Homo-oligomer: A and B are copies of this chain.
């Protein structure tokens, strides 16, 4: 695309000045509409070194209200970033509803640099492209506007600009070694940029090329495109348009319905104690090993109220070195979380490699409580199965061991436990009116859980049902599953 791109003829200076005046006013006016419609806008600026990205961005934000936007400079990933999934550092910086975030540099830079330096092969490169396409499409599907700019200058212009900047001590610092390298290998860079742009030019997040030979002209092009793209997104918001569901492309394994699961499994107190000791010891050893091998682990707990999630998690956690794990209890989202993609708060809570994150309730809230209580639209939760499969694929590709537990009890057992809590003063805090209300919706929840298990039981992030009418049985089963999964991964590694 970039190679075949035919530049528009640059208008006269007068025309540029006149259109710029108008476009600036229009863009400024859009801020209010963005705020009102709660539109999150992500503007991505990539391009050649010395193309003037920074100074054009500077001109554009001069006309905006600082309360409505922020800028993020995406330099090379830090040591910390490298211990998380590739998309982590970008995902955590996405804008809130009603705000514009400008990314000065993006994942394009990271990927094409690695490609140019020969740091990644074809296979990894293709994986990155898939991640990027999913990321940008998910943002779009969740109501984000994503506008991607590439600032283009020709080889000669770049050379001249670099020379000019270097000749003045006040501007010389703005020329990086990378810029100079780029100019020396312009053709090679062009090939890699072109290939990347072709592969990531999606209808939902298209690329726009900015002819950057002249700054005012570049500002005009960028401003006019921003206004036009924002208008489209506002129209979509006004029409409440939602992204249709996608065909599933993830390998799903069959899983029984909840009603088919026998719940008469149990352990004696002796069996339990013996197993618990032995398994916790083994888990502790494995934790050490995966810490050294830098394998990240994500354990997700979902289940009925009073099914015994808390006690089950405790038995896992007790075996672990406190410096190497964290338990995230997930309640309803904070305002800052509500204002962003619903997976944002989980991206934010991902462990570093070598660490274990245990989620006490998870991103599956989207297709259970949010679905049943109407906290999101039907389209939102319907889309979420695929979005969650994509999210977990991201974790799996990063190298995470993913273990998902559904803690299962029957309706009678729940009633017994609720009643016991109610009647035991020191346990009364554990039972709320909401628990009783949820219980009334048991059958609806069961439908939702069955659908969730069926649609998200992927080969890379499978569900495990823990039969928890007998809590002891469930705890031992959980420990065994975690141990088996870690042994399997550690075995593959050695």
Contacts and interface: CB of A to CB of B under 8 A. Distances in A.
Given A243-B244, A244-B236, A251 B8 contact: yes
Chain A contact surface mostly:
mixed
Contacts of A147: 247
Contacts of A236: 244-245
A135 to B, nearest CB: 12
Nearest to A141: B244
Contacts of A379: 239, 241
Interface in A1-21: 1, 4, 8
A239 B1 contact: no
A399 to B, nearest CB: 16
Contacts of A228: 247-248
Nearest to A145: B247
A117 interface: no
Interface residues of A, number: 37
B206 A249 contact: yes
A244 B243 CA distance: 6
Interface stretch (A197-205, A311-319, A407-415): A197-205
Nearest to A205: B247
A246 to B, nearest CB: 5
A178 interface: no
Protomer copies: 2
Given A4-B126, A235-B382, A244 B241 contact: yes
Nearest to A254: B19
A232 interface: yes
Interface string A226-239: 00110011011001
A137 interface: yes
A378 B247 contact: no
27 contacts: A1-B126, A4-B123, A8-B251, A133-B203, A137-B203, A145-B247, A198-B199, A199-B199, A203-B246, A204-B244, A204-B246, A206-B249, A208-B249, A229-B247, A229-B248, A232-B247, A235-B245, A235-B382, A236-B244, A236-B245, A239-B245, A239-B378, A239-B379, A239-B382, A241-B242, A241-B244, A241-B379
Interface of A: 1, 4, 8, 123, 126, 133, 137, 140, 145, 147, 198-199, 202-204, 206, 208, 228-229, 232-233, 235-236, 239, 241-249, 251, 378-379, 382
The 5 closest A-B pairs by CB, nearest first: A241-B244, A229-B247, A236-B244, A206-B249, A232-B245
Given A232-B246, A233-B247, 8 more contacts: A4-B123, A137-B203, A204-B246, A206-B246, A206-B249, A232-B248, A235-B245, A236-B245
